[in-house]
Chain A
């Protein structure tokens, strides 16, 4: 559906406001059109007196006063009705902005990971901030203004043609020119806006990544490099911004000229007509005053065209997301998960990121089962698919083949909320909100009291540190690591997950930045919690899951070795190799020898 039509439809739903707005617009326009008539009459009275024809001075005086009162009244009423219609316009615009903002927010939160992997957060921000604004501005600026313009030109033109067809036609002769220029420029402007918006998105992305990765930028002394990157993007946007201005103001100048040309024609022909006695001076004055009223709206045509073109592009970008269906969502009629034991099973699971051509296979034929009180360890080289397994359990993505069940129920058949409540994943990549420690820990459960929060942070071995801070749990932590070290952030993220006491817990390499001693204490503290739950531990440190009931060694998406620690050691395969590297056999590895050599690492 055409974007602008869709926006107009949204506006049409504010029937009362829109109706009131349009009615007031018509009334205000009428009063505005009355003004030239009163002025014309006043001029005629003055003129007729001067010429010694017609009324007596007293009558003329009264007529002038009458005209003045009418002018004032028309002014006041016009102002009042303009106020109402402007306000209604803005109210509709703001309400639509509000609606779109909510819909956008809601959709955005539900879009699955696959979408967010693909779309840059800077783009999403631009749409939510600038594009929604663009639509709002169109509704409140362009939409009702177009109506005003049409009424003024239409009604005024009708009235003028009624008085004098030739002069009336001349007075309106600029309208087709303006309409033509508007149509042409709206197409080119739309194209320019779209391209400009795209380049602005790139610029946004560059700025956002620079600020997000500011430590990298500093570490590499890359300021000049980053500035060059910024300048390239910025310059390519400037080119388009300049083109937009050029189109816009060339048209504006052209439109204004055609308007003045029409006025000149009216003046020329009109003054001849006065000589011929075909019209009075007052009539000409009325014509000219009418045209003067149109001056401002004509200059606004450029703005209207510009903002319509923009709404077109912005609307497209916003509606694109609104019309999308999240790849992962509840099936119709999905029932909540019925947890009995909390057994998680992978049955011949295959998975690939992306679809079609660009798909990159990540898992192949993965099978395992973890029951309550049992634990599963997963190890493997980088990119082998460990995190992918963790992502599939709470349905951040859906498997391409095979199925995952919890207590016998396919996770695609149950509601997302109930599933995610049952599963807790401590992500490998820690994300903290810029907020207090307290609200970060309680993020998943707002009703958690301080005692539960302290319990969770205590288990994660973080309580003592937080307690030692002057502001304790009210200390702010931030996205870039304000207040916390790498390991402390990981522990906060562990605390956040265990606060929810899920039935199935996945630790995705969540102790990588934590020293072994602290990790042992965390595991000891969690023993109670994990006693009756299924636990999956992904780690590169074998001591993290040595005692797991089963250990999987994954490579390139396939399980290549499986068994208990002892079995795997006995197997003498890749697991054993890892073990040897981590165990205390350093001296046999030739590394210790390098301790003597200065270049050793």
Chain B
């Protein structure tokens, strides 16, 4: 269990090398490492847990299955009765036969009803369970920490949410009808033994042979099936990667190379599936031979018994029937063995997701933040993403309620990391973070999120209208609020120029807007959320200074009474802040207002000089200094 999350995620130290390349090769091996793991029956057990909510329904279905089995079993008996009667009543009229036919009708009507009830209930429940399984996975993913989510690829998670659940569906689709058959097997055994136990046992002895054959076959076949499943997910992974990165693929003219690599994977997939098919098909002649053998036994032994007078012909006919019915489900289950194996492998992949531990959880009795003053305080914060490699060292600062503080520093200095910590995307290694005077670990994550708004460095929009995107999850926000926010970020102009205005549909990730426009919308979205604390991570990096200035003017009133932490590389953006904190390599190197920092002539001054100066009139000394400052970032 402990190694499972690792196999789901991409571990820190992979075996290097390009041969795998960014077309899946390397990641596939990691994604599929799970297949070394034992293949245990607990999967079935765990799926049974999903049945619990449907107990009542399944009880009805169970009764129907019993009824169905009984009717199935009685059909050959009725036939036997008819044949025996036909032979006995040689000379009489067929009134009794008509009665028997009526009885047959009764049995098959019952059979119809039982089958209908059983199959629809089981089928629908199975389908619901698929949705439940998917939902359980999805809910779980919503609770996992960012440090886990960082390492996963959306495409691969989607393969689990979709293709693996799909494999389960295929399994259920082909086996719902087999459920009745399985109970039937038991019924047939009972009836055969009741009818004539000697002949019954003799006939059933072939099943033993079948069991032995399977014992030899199974381990070999399992390997082939695993391999097939594995190559399938490799192919799907490569496909996902190329779909998501298709623009980069075309830009870099990688189409041919990627196609060749994909071809190799697809061919491997084909081969392994054919190999698995051989394994599943080889069982068919075995089952058929055994069916033939069972019948031969009935004919020879039964026939002799009939001759000896110890067996009715009707019983012999009934036996023949039962034997056929007995092997039918075995045969079809054998044929569908690959489907079953696929489902088992998929089940394993599904439970792997569900089993990833949630490492950032609300404390028992965590406080729900309600009214806070919006102060932020970092006390001796040390944090890193990989063990032993801190990216923030002993960070201390306090942002008073209502204050606007800017965080600046060279790229990779840890600015984004600080915002992520304030929102508790990650937990600090050392020290503590306080929002509104409460340690973020003592409050519920949900209430913290409602107090701390963020504009992320990467603007992300959802498929949907512009209105829906700006409103996002703020239930109380009205259309006016949305328009006001759009006006504040100077997006109203371009939105109204669109033919459908606020109701314009955005394509995936807002792809039909320019990056700057997306950034404006993601900014507006944070404004609508109306939080006490606002973290702006390069919220205007892709926006021209003129628009930025409009935003700053509008924000003045919007930010009144709110605490803001602003990150920017264009220092003109931040010089109006109450205080500026300069970060370098995970440490605070300077703090003060724009004027104070300029007067200090430290890192801030040098960065600032660079900001508006042209390339060659920067004094060499400043470039060298800056280079020294920002190197190793």
Contacts and interface: CB of A to CB of B under 8 A. Distances in A.
Interface string B533-577: 000001001111111110010011101110010100111100111
B573 to A, nearest CB: 9
Contacts of B153: 434, 478-479
Interface residues of A, number: 216
Contacts of B247: 113, 116, 396, 427, 431
A45 B304 CA distance: 10
A128 B544 CA distance: 41
Interface in A279-329: 281, 284-285, 288-289, 292-293, 295-296, 299, 302-303, 306
A106 B259 contact: yes
Contacts of A600: 404, 556, 576-578
Given A241-B127, A486-B411, A137 B170 contact: yes
Given A43-B313, A105-B259, A218-B449, A601 B630 contact: no
Contacts of B542: 382, 428, 509, 512, 540
A524 B610 CA distance: 13
B623 A520 contact: yes
B545 A581 contact: yes
B379 interface: no
B463 A120 contact: yes
A408 interface: no
A212 B22 contact: no
B249 A68 contact: no
Contact of A79 (B248, B285, B321): B285
* Chain B at the A interface: SS class: helix
B460 interface: yes
A75 B96 CA distance: 37
A101 B158 contact: no
A540 B570 contact: yes
A288 B314 CA distance: 12
B377 interface: no
A514 B556 contact: no
A61 B305 CA distance: 11
Nearest to A481: B150
Contact of A429 (B139, B243, B457, B515): B515
B538 A120 contact: no
Given A381-B547, A512-B541, A543-B612, A485 B412 contact: yes
A180 interface: no
Contacts of B476: none
Given A79-B284, A442-B18, A223 B142 contact: yes
A586 interface: yes
Interface in B440-464: 445-450, 452-454, 456-458, 460-463
A190 interface: no
A364 interface: no
Given A267-B104, A584-B612, A444 B252 contact: yes
Interface string A93-108: 0110110011001101
Given A219-B454, A515-B410, A594-B556, A601 B564 contact: yes
B278 A87 contact: yes
A58 B252 CA distance: 85
A465 B90 contact: no
Given A128-B239, A303-B174, A65 B409 contact: no
Given A128-B239, A271-B83, A578-B544, A601 B404 contact: yes
Interface stretch (A5-13, A335-343, A467-475): A467-475
B320 interface: yes
A540 B543 contact: yes
A253 B251 CA distance: 56
B150 A383 contact: no
Interface string A578-591: 10011110100101
Contacts of A274: 83, 86-87
B631 A464 contact: yes
Given A245-B124, A420-B250, A125 B515 contact: no
Contacts of A574: 546
A186 interface: no
A436 interface: yes
A592 B576 contact: yes
A212 B629 CA distance: 35
B63 interface: no
Nearest to B117: A253
Contacts of B245: 431, 433
Contacts of A513: 411, 457, 538, 541, 569
B602 interface: no
A581 B408 CA distance: 19
Given A67-B303, A91-B274, A471-B12, 17 more contacts: A46-B307, A79-B287, A113-B250, A117-B507, A129-B239, A227-B138, A241-B127, A271-B100, A272-B94, A275-B86, A434-B10, A478-B10, A513-B541, A515-B630, A541-B611, A543-B612, A601-B552
30 contacts: A50-B313, A69-B296, A71-B296, A98-B270, A102-B266, A117-B512, A129-B162, A137-B170, A212-B154, A213-B460, A213-B509, A215-B425, A220-B453, A222-B473, A256-B115, A260-B111, A267-B79, A271-B85, A382-B543, A386-B514, A434-B27, A444-B252, A464-B632, A515-B607, A517-B606, A518-B633, A547-B616, A592-B575, A599-B557, A601-B552
